[in-house]
Amino acid sequence: MAAGLAERSCLELSAAARGPPRRPREVVFSPPGTAPLPAGRYGDSAGGFCYQESAQLAAATRNRFVRWTTSGDTVELVEESLDVNLLNNTVRLRIQGCPFLPGGVHICEVQSHLVILLITGQTVHRLLLPHPARMYRSELITECQMQSVFTDISKINFRDPSNYYVIPSVPGLASSSVASAAWLSSEGEALFALPSALGGIFVLKLPPHDAPGAVSVVELKQSSVMQRFLTGWMPTAIRGDCGPSDLPISLSVHCLDHDAFLFALCQDHKLRMWSYKDQMCLMVADLLEFMPVSRDLRLAAGTGHRLRLAFSQSLGLYLGVYMHAPKRGQFCVFQLVSTESNRYSLDHISSLFSSQETLVDFALTSAEIWALWHNEENQTVVKYINFEQNVAGQWNQVFVQPLPEEEVTVRHDQDPRETYLEYLFMPGRFTNAAIQKALQIFSEEGSETHMDLTWDELKKEVTLAVESEFQGSVTEYECSPEEFWQLQVEFWSKFYACCLQYQEALSRPLALHLNPYTSMVCLLKKGSLSFLVPCSLVDHLYLLSNEHLLTEDDAAIFDDLEMSRDVVCLVQCLRLIGESISMEMAFIMEMACSRLQPPEKAAEQILEDLIANDTENVMEDIHSKLQEIRNPIHAIGALIREMDYETDADMERAHHLNMRMNLTQLYGSGTAVNVVCWGVCKIATIRFLICRDLLILQQLLLRLGDPMVLGGGQLFQSQQDLLHRTSPLLLSYYLIRWASQCLASDVPVDTLESNLQHLSVLELADTTALTPHRLVSGPQTIVELFFQEVARKHIISRLFLQPNASSAETSLNWPHLITAIVTEFLPLLWPSNPGFLFPECLVGSCQYTQLQEYIRLLQPWCHVNMGSCCFMMGRCYLVMGEGHKALDCFCQAASEVGREEFLDRLIQPEEGEMVSTPRLQYYNKSFHTGAAWRDDACSVPGFWGSDLRSENILFSEVLRLLDMVGLPELVIQLATLAIMESADDWRSQATLRTCIFKHHLDLGHNSEAYVALTQNPDPSRQLDCLRQLVVVLCERSQLQDLVEFPYVNLHNEVVGIIESHARAVDLMTHNYYELLYAFHIYRHNYRKAGTVMFEYGMRLGREVRTLRGLQKQGNCFLAAINCLRLIRPEYAWIVQPASGAVYERPGASPKRSHDGECTAVPTTRQIEILELEDLERECVLARIRLTLVQHDLSTAAVAGNSTPEETVALLVRAGLFDTAITLCQTFKLPLTPIFEGLTFKCIKLQLGGEAAQAEAWDWLAANQLSSLVTTKESSATDEAWRLLSSYLERYPSQNSLYHRCVINKLLAHGIPLPNWLINSYKKVDAAELLRLYLNYDLLEEAVDLVLEYVDAVLGKGHQYFGIEFPLSATAPMVWLPYTAIDQLLQALRESTTNHYNVVLYQKLHDKMEDYQQKVSVATRDRLYRRN
């Protein structure tokens, strides 16, 4: 179709947010010297201002404008942006007692400031704000929000006299005119033009803000073309003959470099042009000359006239004048023409007539007029016309947003509350502000109660308020369901009527705002803002009224004139059908689409109802119109092609948006998003109706079956093809409309982060479909979410970053851009296109419920991206906790691998991967992000493999996702399915078997995990799994399963793994040795079991030197002994484990010498064989160590690994002499340390005090005395000596070794020898006792001993010295230790200084002389007898 017709009509698109109304900052100022005027003196007004560089792509003020509304003495200023969300962009200024003139807000832009000029009924004001270009550098604007120009408005000093002035009473402000104009001079002066009270104009001038000066007033007089300066408060002035006829009713100003032209449209229907610099009237034009007038009009005052200016650098200055007349109006467009002598005249360009009565506002460009009316029904009418090209004077329609229906139809099978809530809160229907105001009135509460409510909060408050009113009015306890339903409808309709009233008030348009730089036209309403955008041709034809449709230029539609006429007639038929369809009939089609029923059947049913209820012969009219169509099949096909956005290939992915060109934020604000998405919704709504009516018309054509009607014998098949093309078209628009009205859910941040982790598993987190979720002021629809997060970047990149696009030099044109954006946006939403960005965005934003409904509406009829939809549905089921449904969806999606773009991106192999089977890779990638195994061998790179066949890649992604979500049962099920896909690939089999093993093990399915392990074809992975099985079952204490598995061909590996772990981990926290012992016992390998327990016991002694460790050590040795006793004696031996050996285990670091070099591993090791007796001795030693530690815990640190000799020393020190003797006897050790230790304890007791005596009873009790003496005289010292005495008697030694060591110890400490010890030793070895006396210089004791000894030899007390037969000639020979006696005599002889020693010497000498004599006698007798 021809592109020119696309601008023939426009659509109104609302930009009202669904969030709470923004609360503006309040600024209140009371000018001194003013008396309050009535607030309702002037009507509400609105206006707008656009920045000069708003169309420049690289400007800081791009797509920004300011709008305002005045009401009484309050003006609300709002700065809007289509690119970024502005902060602090709303301010409400109240000048108390001074109502604003309609149109009394004027904004001027200078290099460094934005100047706001305000005119009230009593004052004028100037506000200076910093220019946005000074606040930001455009190339640095990359954030989604920024500060508004009004951010610092609270810093303005409103009381500064240089920035406001009270309008003087002379000349005074005219009460019958609200005209005003304001501008800035080139010197920075603020000038205000106002109608004078006596007619004419006066101009009030404020000096520049940065220069001192006085305020002056200039009155422009018409009669003598003279001026007079009025300064201050002059009481009188010469007025000439100015009358009320020249009172200006509309003022406009055009600024020049050093002058300003002031145009005044006066009550006498004349246009006057003044030069402010010269203060001269340069031109007077009678406008009645350009319109058909009557005498009444000429005599009447022109109170409804309007004046607008439009300037173009190329075309000059245009003047647009609206001349108001009763029941009609006329627009005249002039061009200002000047001559060389500075004479000015008007060149009449065009006159345009309008029948609307009440003009609200109009805007002028150098080519168009946009006008806003209220018709007789008080409905808004907006039209525009190109006065240069439209010779016929045909206005183009603007299809404004209709108000919601006055009544909501509630069927008896519907819940009134849900029906009304759905209708009230349907996006685009009611604003938040309207519902809040209705709620305040309905609930009769304060105005602040329901302020700043979110969409969801407001919904709850509305429900609560209506239900409360309803419950309070029900007085009867019982009522029928019908009465209850009727009461609900009554109260909800009451609240709905209240909402409708406020919606209508807030939707009342006040003005048009036209941006001459971007050609953007806005409709400024009391409570919102809407944009006017071009309407596409199909929508234009369908929405036009019949009278306008008949006047369409057929040639403008198609190049083929006949086709154009056919399409116009076809649209007329569709309009006839659409106008005849009742609400019930329309509901049939809605339900058919919602319930996934064929639309063709619904269209057929609607057609039957139309025929049955055709009381106005509509069918005949349609039939006659069809007769005018030459080729209905071609016309329908042409209409379908215009509405079809299906493309053959996926749209190009988004490019990186250039930050320097500031494209990242273009049309990214909430306002722009609302406009674009509401435009899509409007198009989808209109196209849905067109397709519905087209389906009904096609059913009618099939029913007629007339060859003449069908255009010369068209085939039935062609009709069926068109029918089947129209049905998906209708469903596509239904789906887009649904998505445009479906609100997105609020998602917590932690849920978004979790979702991002899951998507990173699928390697989708970095795609352009997923970006961080932005904060928005109100609930978004899912289409708005998609546009803001994803689609906008794609569209902008396609529009501005194409190779042939020179966007840096291109100015922004709103009609062209908004049309292009919507045109590019629809294919991204089109269900039957290969692109899958919309569902990707939904899943990335956690909109799972909405995505499920989207796919539900899509799946039965759309055969594109079926696998991708199944995959997304599976993702939704996973989140909803329906894992088995998700698995079915994932399996269905696998069949479409390689045929859909989304699935192809999903299975793109990572770097280094081989690609041959896409489905199995579905599994492989699952293992990269699965729960990390605790065993290091399972986490090394490449463990999970990277060379799987690419046909199973999709399964890999699903396995990764299932693993991340935590559904091991489904992982096992899916991996089992994948094994069948990889029957001929052992690597894939190994990976999948490993996966199955891992998740069976996680679930506690030990037997199944073992089976999966044994079926793994990869030995290295099998060993890894086996290692993990051992570790996990040990940690779970499920040792019986671990021991009883058969381990066919894996026995040695299991033993090696358990041994490795046993030698590598802490002995007291893990029981790998005991597990290995049980493992060998279960298999009757008793020698191995004994070896394990003996090694366990040895390590316990070395490494766990605690009481518990010693207890376990003893048990280990007993277990080892028991194992050897179960073997035949010849085999009852084990190999001695190397003491202190470093066991070789996987991952152990090499040992190094002091210089860092690796030490050489010994090649040979001596093998020591231990028999049963050796183990029994070790067991005794372990038991004795335990006894020692139980007696004295402080010895645990050294006793654990002590040798028998060291243990004896520890026992002696602890006083456990019986135990020490047992140990010495077991290991055949001498008892000398025991006797020495006991002797020393006796010495300590003898020398110690009572504390030592008390302590001694503890260790004395640990030794068994032969007979315990319990008399009072018995002390611990006595008992210790008795114990020593008993030991000497019980354990005799060769050569009296023990006696000698005891006496030696006593004498060394200077302790006198006890008599029992002397007597005992005299019997054993008196000579040795004598030598000991001599060694310690005990001469007296030695002399006594010798004297006794000699007497014993001679027969006196011989039994005390162990002499059986004393000296006698008949007895055996006896002897004396002569050497020792000689030494004694010599010692006595040498100490003659001591008299006592002399006596001893003499005594001993005499004794020895006597002995010698007796020996001589005995010797002679013996010799005599022998002879």
- pLDDT single digits (tens) 146-205: 889 998 888 888 888 888 999 988 788 888 888 999 999 988 999 999 998 877 899 999
Q: How high does pLDDT run on average in the chain?
A: 82
Q: If you search the block for the tokens 């027969």, which residue do you land on?
A: 1355
**Is 1084 a residue whose pLDDT tops 50?**
yes
Tell me if residue 362 falls in helix, strand or coil.
strand
Task: Determine the average pLDDT of the residues in 1010-1024.
Answer: 92
Q: Which two tokens stand for residue 1180?
A: 């005794």
Give the per-residue pLDDT at 768: 41
Lowest average pLDDT, out of 27-41, 798-812, 920-934, goes to 920-934
Q: Per-residue pLDDT tens for 522-566?
A: 999 988 899 999 998 899 999 987 766 665 555 457 777 888 888
Better pLDDT: 243 or 644: 644
Q: Per-residue pLDDT tens for 453-465?
A: 777 888 888 989 8
* Rounded Cα–Cα distance for residues 983 and 1288 (Å): 85
**Is 934 a residue whose pLDDT tops 60?**
no
Give the per-residue pLDDT at 7: 52
Give the per-residue pLDDT at 852: 94
| pLDDT band for position 225 (cuts 50, 70, 90) | very low
Q: Per-residue pLDDT tens for 407-431?
A: 888 888 888 889 999 888 888 888 8
Q: If you search the block for the tokens 């036009």, which residue do you land on?
A: 544
Give the per-residue pLDDT at 175: 82
Q: Which two tokens stand for residue 922?
A: 């579905």
| Cα dist from 723 to 539, 541, 603, 633, whole Å | 20, 21, 11, 10
* Rounded Cα–Cα distance for residues 543 and 561 (Å): 21
Sheet holding 344-354, edge to edge: 306-312, 316-325, 328-338, 344-354
Q: How many CB atoms lie within 10 A of CB 1131?
A: 9
* Residue length of the chain: 1427
Better pLDDT: 67 or 1066: 67
| pLDDT band for position 242 (cuts 50, 70, 90) | very low
Q: 668: closest CA among 771, 520, 748, 752?
A: 771
| pLDDT band for position 234 (cuts 50, 70, 90) | very low
Structural element, H or E, at residue 91: strand 90-95
**Is 310 a residue whose pLDDT tops 60?**
yes
Q: Per-residue pLDDT tens for 1298-1352?
A: 888 888 888 888 888 888 888 888 888 888 888 888 888 888 888 888 888 888 8
HEC string of 378-417 equals: CCEEEEEEECCCCCCCCCEEEECCCCCCCCCCCCCCCCHH
Lowest average pLDDT, out of 76-80, 448-452, 752-756, goes to 448-452
Sequence-separated (6 or more) residues with CB below 8 Å from residue 1198: 1105, 1206, 1210
Q: Is 1304 exposed, middle or buried (0-12, 13-18, 19+ CB in 10 A)?
A: middle
* Rounded Cα–Cα distance for residues 433 and 436 (Å): 5
Q: Cis (ω within 30 of 0) for the bond into 248? A: no
Give the per-residue pLDDT at 1194: 84
| pLDDT band for position 339 (cuts 50, 70, 90) | confident
Lowest average pLDDT, out of 24-28, 646-650, 723-727, goes to 646-650
CB 918 within 8 A of CB 953: yes
Tell me if residue 41 falls in helix, strand or coil.
coil
- Long-range contacts of residues 1385-1392, Cβ cutoff 8 Å, at least 24 apart: 1387/1334, 1387/1337, 1387/1339, 1388/1339, 1388/1343, 1391/1339
CB 147 within 8 A of CB 79: no
CB 1413 within 8 A of CB 1364: no
| Cα dist from 59 to 108, 150, 706, 807, whole Å | 18, 19, 63, 13
Sequence-separated (6 or more) residues with CB below 8 Å from residue 936: 1147
* Rounded Cα–Cα distance for residues 264 and 321 (Å): 11
CB 1369 within 8 A of CB 1425: yes
Quote the DSSP letter at residue 18.
S
| The residue type at 507 | S
**Is 774 a residue whose pLDDT tops 80?**
no
| Cα dist from 387 to 6, 350, 455, 520, 548, whole Å | 17, 6, 44, 18, 18
Measure the CA angle with vertex 1418, ends 1412 and 1420; round to 5°.
105
Q: 118: closest CA among 52, 64, 54, 194?
A: 194
Q: Per-residue pLDDT tens for 592-632?
A: 999 999 999 999 999 999 999 888 888 988 898 888 888 88
- Start-end of H helices in 101-236: 132-135
Pairing of strands 260-266, 164-166: unpaired
| pLDDT band for position 337 (cuts 50, 70, 90) | very high
Q: Which two tokens stand for residue 1352?
A: 């014993």
Q: 1123: closest CA among 1179, 1187, 1198?
A: 1179
Q: Per-residue pLDDT tens for 828-869?
A: 999 999 889 999 999 888 899 999 999 999 989 999 999 999
Give the per-residue pLDDT at 117: 95
**Is 231 a residue whose pLDDT tops 60?**
no
Q: 466: closest CA among 486, 448, 437, 489?
A: 489
Give the per-residue pLDDT at 210: 84
Give the per-residue pLDDT at 1231: 87
858: left (phi over 0), alpha (psi -120 to 50) or beta: alpha
**Is 1189 a residue whose pLDDT tops 70?**
yes
Q: What percent of the chain has pLDDT over 90?
A: 31
Q: Per-residue pLDDT tens for 627-681?
A: 888 888 888 999 999 999 888 655 555 555 554 456 888 898 889 999 999 999 9
Q: Per-residue pLDDT tens for 466-522?
A: 888 887 777 666 778 888 888 888 889 999 999 999 888 888 999 999 999 999 999
Phi and psi, residue 1334, nearest 5°? -65, -40
Phi and psi, residue 877, nearest 5°? -60, -35
Structural element, H or E, at residue 698: helix 670-704
CB 707 within 8 A of CB 713: yes
CB 332 within 8 A of CB 351: yes
Sequence-separated (6 or more) residues with CB below 8 Å from residue 1216: 1187, 1188, 1191, 1259, 1262, 1263
- Long-range contacts of residues 412-419, Cβ cutoff 8 Å, at least 24 apart: 412/485, 416/485, 416/488, 416/489, 416/492, 417/463, 417/466, 417/467, 417/488, 417/492
* Rounded Cα–Cα distance for residues 678 and 227 (Å): 55
CB 321 within 8 A of CB 338: no
Per-residue burial over 1055-1065, b = 16 or more CB atoms within 10 Å of its CB, e = otherwise: bbbbbbbbbee
- Start-end of H helices in 218-375: 295-299
Give the per-residue pLDDT at 777: 54
Tell me if residue 136 falls in helix, strand or coil.
coil
Sheet holding 100-109, edge to edge: 100-109, 113-120, 123-130, 164-166
Sequence-separated (6 or more) residues with CB below 8 Å from residue 16: 431, 432, 527, 528, 529, 530, 674
Give the per-residue pLDDT at 450: 55
Write down the pTM of the prediction.
0.76
Pairing of strands 164-166, 328-338: unpaired
Tell me if residue 1336 falls in helix, strand or coil.
coil
- Long-range contacts of residues 654-660, Cβ cutoff 8 Å, at least 24 apart: 654/768, 654/793, 654/794, 654/797, 655/797, 655/801, 656/797, 657/793, 657/796, 657/797, 657/801, 658/801, 659/139, 659/142, 660/139
CB 577 within 8 A of CB 693: yes
| The residue type at 1302 | V
Q: What percent of the chain has pLDDT over 70?
A: 84
Measure the CA angle with vertex 647, ends 646 and 649; round to 5°.
145
* Rounded Cα–Cα distance for residues 110 and 480 (Å): 72
